[in-house]
Amino acid sequence: MRTQVAIIGSGPSGLLLGQLLSRAGIDNVILDRASRAHILERVRAGLLEEGTVGLIEQCGGASRLHAEALTHDGISLAFDGSNHRIDLHALTGKRVTVYGQTELTRDLMDHRQAAGGQSVYEAADVLPNDIDGDRPHVTYRSGGVTARLDCDFVAGCDGFHGVSRACVPPSALTTYERVYPFGWLGILADVPPADRELIYAYHPRGFALCTMRSPQRSRYYIQCGLDDGSLFLVGDPAHIVPPTGAKGLNLAASDVHYLISALREFYAEGSRAGIDAYSARALSRVWKAVRFSWSMTLMLHQFPENGAFGRRMQEAELAYLVGSRAASAALAENYVGLPY
């Protein structure tokens, strides 16, 4: 099979791109490893910017969105017991649109089908080939048969865990990463929303977001631990530090300290208290060691961006450290290991 643009992934980016290409007279084929039904069962985003709505309009697929979506002029930030409204429209002249990603995906899929666009679902082992040569093509298996899609370009629209990212040669890839130590638990409920607009809540027990899909259907998210389940991360899979503070192995050991006491408690007393608290207990010590490893690393290494000022700061910090009993004691306390 041959096309101009092979699109891997039938999420919002793949479907939007496919539709806009088709309208520009550029032939394209979408390949997705999941089934159409599976994609339509995924409940994800719900908030569209005006620019996104504009793109959907350009696709010619915005009629249901305009009929059913909710338009909001503001959001609230809730903290300290009250709601503080941010009037987005007064501040920017713009509004936001609440329309479920599931609905948007359905609209784009239906539109593509009606326009005769070609999509292959349940395509296994999708793999871009020869992407830096002159005969790019994508191979995949469909219905047990290996197929080849020749193309001019490949668009990797297959999400964070897709195959496309992995195909970029390491020399061409720069990854900037921040891993957050929590997840979101999402709840879709057939109850009227808590408020007319979205509420982002900051609370000592964690973040919460009250959003919606319609005047009858609410969507809630609450911050939850990544370890809510039966998988415990111990040592490097949970946290990785530069070696300067000599903390990697020692943090792995302190994780074991907390986990073993949690598991003993579970088997001896049937109590999940230690298991539920494992992450918080282990991480409270881990973060202090991350800070220490970071400070030792910053103090002792040459960084290309440091410049003369940065080097002076390092030298002053070192001189202060060795000349001050209090500063030496702080280093020593961390170096020998904070108490469990």
Minimum CB separation of residue 257 from ligand FAD in Å reads: 34
Kindly identify the residues of this chain, within the stretch 34-63, that bind ligand FAD according to CB under 6 A: 34, 39, 44-47
Q: At what angle do helices 101-114 and 12-23 cross, to 10 degrees?
A: 30
Angle among Cα 215, 220, 226 to the nearest 5 degrees reads 165
Q: Which of 3, 9, 198, 259 binds ligand FAD (CB under 6 A)?
A: 9
12 binds ligand FAD (CB under 6 A): yes
Kindly identify the residues of this chain, within the stretch 298-327, that bind ligand DHB according to CB under 6 A: none
Angle among Cα 58, 62, 68 to the nearest 5 degrees reads 160
Minimum CB separation of residue 45 from ligand DHB in Å reads: 5
For the CA atoms of 103, 107, 110, 115, the dihedral, rounded to the nearest 10 degrees, stands at: -170
Minimum CB separation of residue 249 from ligand FAD in Å reads: 35
Minimum CB separation of residue 42 from ligand DHB in Å reads: 12
Q: What is the token pair recorded at 206?
A: 């964690």
Q: Which of 219, 247, 281, 285 binds ligand DHB (CB under 6 A)?
A: 219
Out of 99, 140, 200, 220, which one is annotated catalytic? 200
Residues 75-114 as x/- pattern, contact with ligand FAD by CB under 6 A: --------------------------x-------------
Q: Is 200 a catalytic residue?
A: yes
Q: Residue 262 and residue 268: Cα distance in Å, rounded?
A: 10
230 strand-pairing partners = none
156 strand-pairing partners = 8
186 binds ligand FAD (CB under 6 A): yes
Q: Which pairing describes strands 70-72 and 47-48: parallel, antiparallel, or unpaired?
A: unpaired
Q: Residue 175 and residue 169: Cα distance in Å, rounded?
A: 12
Q: Is 288 a catalytic residue?
A: no
72 binds ligand DHB (CB under 6 A): no
Minimum CB separation of residue 60 from ligand FAD in Å reads: 19
Q: Which of 211, 254, 279, 293 binds ligand DHB (CB under 6 A)?
A: 211
Q: Which residues contact 228 (CB under 8 A, 6 or more apart)?
A: 183, 185
Minimum CB separation of residue 112 from ligand DHB in Å reads: 23
How big is the chain by its Cα radius of gyration, in Å?
26
47 binds ligand DHB (CB under 6 A): yes
Q: Is 243 a catalytic residue?
A: yes
Check: CB of residue 110 under 8 Å from CB of residue 120: no
Residue 219 binding partner per list ligand DHB, ligand FAD, none, with a CB distance cut-off of 5 to 8 Å that depends on partner kind: ligand DHB
Out of 12, 72, 111, 278, which one is annotated catalytic? 72
14 binds ligand FAD (CB under 6 A): yes
Closest CA to 297 of 247, 251, 340: 247
- Per-residue CA distances from 138 to 20, 28, 30, 119, 302 (Å): 21, 12, 11, 14, 44
Residues of the shown chain interacting with ligand DHB in the complex, contacts defined by CB under 6 A:
45-47, 198, 209, 211, 219
Give the residue numbers marked as catalytic.
72, 200, 243, 247, 335
